[in-house]
């Protein structure tokens, strides 16, 4: 599918769609209970469930974290522009939906390198004035920052929310997620916010969980081609010198939970971390 008026570099992207292999965005959609996935994605989910039966809970916890973060940025911090990189398929409760429930004027640019995500989002956003989707690769931050569609909605001279939710664990070490985060941080105005969630390698005090996580990592790397569980210090470094909001970089479930109930400290608790920081 190509839309009239798409820049030339986007015209060939649909030749790249291969539905015979599982793909990150569609597998995540399947975990969330969405319908934008194919047989190969669902087969992968079945396999993953054998190794990690609670994997769908991790996807749901991440989406819930994303919603709490966007509500905080738009509803409490007064942010009116959001750059959402690795936006995923526009399944229920995505960034623009949540932002616009609070303030319809918030400008949102979604960015993803998956042509299915791009075409699906573009079709849904055909009439939108405050929201757009850009086909871009976070490994090339300068291209995203210079993209005319990004610049049309995001004013980098004013505070904005930069969302890197569940994307940097899909960036391999040789692509240097630390360098990517730093380049993006540098482009943001003081008063901007950065939200990150990432697969987190459980600490050495949990040797069995660490071993199981390493097995999970092998499965993802071998089938999806990405999925790295990072140590706490590495994830923390992606915030640079920005000021971490309370409660810091924590298990997703501990980041401002709506109800202070008993949180189960199971493998999901230890394997997925997130936080939000502010550029001072």
**Rule CB under 6 A: which residues touch ligand SAM?**
24-25, 28, 62-63, 66, 86-88, 112-114, 117, 137-139, 165-167, 170
Judged by CB, which is closer to ligand SAM: 28, or 269? 28
Q: How far is the CB of 225 from ligand SAM (least distance, A)?
A: 10
Q: Hey, is 130 helix, strand or coil?
A: coil
Q: How far is the CB of 123 from ligand SAM (least distance, A)?
A: 16
Strands (E), 86-174: 107-112, 131-135, 161-165
Interatomic CA distance for residues 17 and 272, integer angstroms: 29
Judged by CB, which is closer to ligand SAM: 15, or 260? 15
| Nearest residue to ligand SAM, scored by beta-carbon proximity | 88
Residues paired with residue 198 on neighbouring β-strands, in sequence order: 273
| Burial of residue 148, with CB atoms counted within 10 A of its CB: 0-12 exposed, 13-18 middle, 19 or more buried | exposed
Q: How far is the CB of 184 from ligand SAM (least distance, A)?
A: 12
Q: How far is the CB of 153 from ligand SAM (least distance, A)?
A: 18
Closest C-alpha to 135, from 2, 263, 33: 2
Location of structure tokens 């919603």: 67
Judged by CB, which is closer to ligand SAM: 111, or 153? 111
Closest C-alpha to 58, from 211, 237, 253: 253
Q: How far is the CB of 265 from ligand SAM (least distance, A)?
A: 22
Give me the DSSP letters along 162-184: EEEES-GGGS-GGG-HHHHHHHH
Judged by CB, which is closer to ligand SAM: 24, or 99? 24
Interatomic CA distance for residues 257 and 246, integer angstroms: 12
Judged by CB, which is closer to ligand SAM: 172, or 206? 172
Q: How far is the CB of 261 from ligand SAM (least distance, A)?
A: 23
Judged by CB, which is closer to ligand SAM: 142, or 211? 142
Judged by CB, which is closer to ligand SAM: 179, or 207? 179
Interatomic CA distance for residues 15 and 2, integer angstroms: 11
Q: How far is the CB of 40 from ligand SAM (least distance, A)?
A: 15
Contacts of 49 (CB under 8 A, 6+ apart): 55, 56
């Amino acid at each position: 599918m190509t839309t009239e008026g798409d820049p030339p570099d986007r015209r060939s992207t649909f030749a790249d769609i291969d539905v015979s292999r599982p793909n990150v965005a569609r597998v995540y959609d399947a975990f969330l209970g969405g319908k934008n996935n194919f047989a190969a994605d669902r087969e992968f989910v079945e396999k993953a469930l054998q190794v990690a039966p609670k994997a769908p809970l991790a996807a749901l916890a991440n989406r819930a974290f994303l919603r709490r973060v966007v509500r905080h940025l738009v509803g409490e911090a007064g942010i009116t522009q959001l750059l959402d990189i690795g936006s995923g398929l526009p399944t229920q409760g995505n960034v623009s939906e949540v932002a616009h429930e609070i303030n319809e004027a918030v400008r949102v640019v979604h960015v993803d390198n998956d042509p299915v995500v791009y075409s699906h989002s573009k079709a849904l956003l055909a009439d939108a004035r405050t929201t757009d989707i850009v086909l871009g690769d976070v490994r090339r931050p300068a291209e995203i920052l210079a993209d005319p569609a990004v610049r049309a909605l995001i004013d980098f001279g004013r505070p904005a929310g930069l969302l890197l939710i569940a994307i940097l664990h899909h960036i391999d070490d040789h692509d240097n997620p630390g360098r990517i985060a730093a380049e993006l941080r540098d482009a943001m105005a003081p008063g901007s916010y950065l939200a990150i969630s990432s697969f987190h390698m459980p600490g050495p005090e949990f040797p069995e969980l660490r071993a199981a996580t390493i097995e999970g990592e092998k499965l993802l790397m071998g089938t999806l081609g990405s999925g790295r569980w990072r140590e706490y210090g590495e994830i923390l470094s992606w915030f640079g010198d920005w000021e971490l909001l309370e409660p810091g970089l924590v298990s997703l479930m501990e980041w401002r939970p709506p109800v202070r109930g008993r949180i189960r400290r199971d493998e999901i608790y230890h394997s997925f971390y997130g936080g939000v920081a502010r550029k001072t």
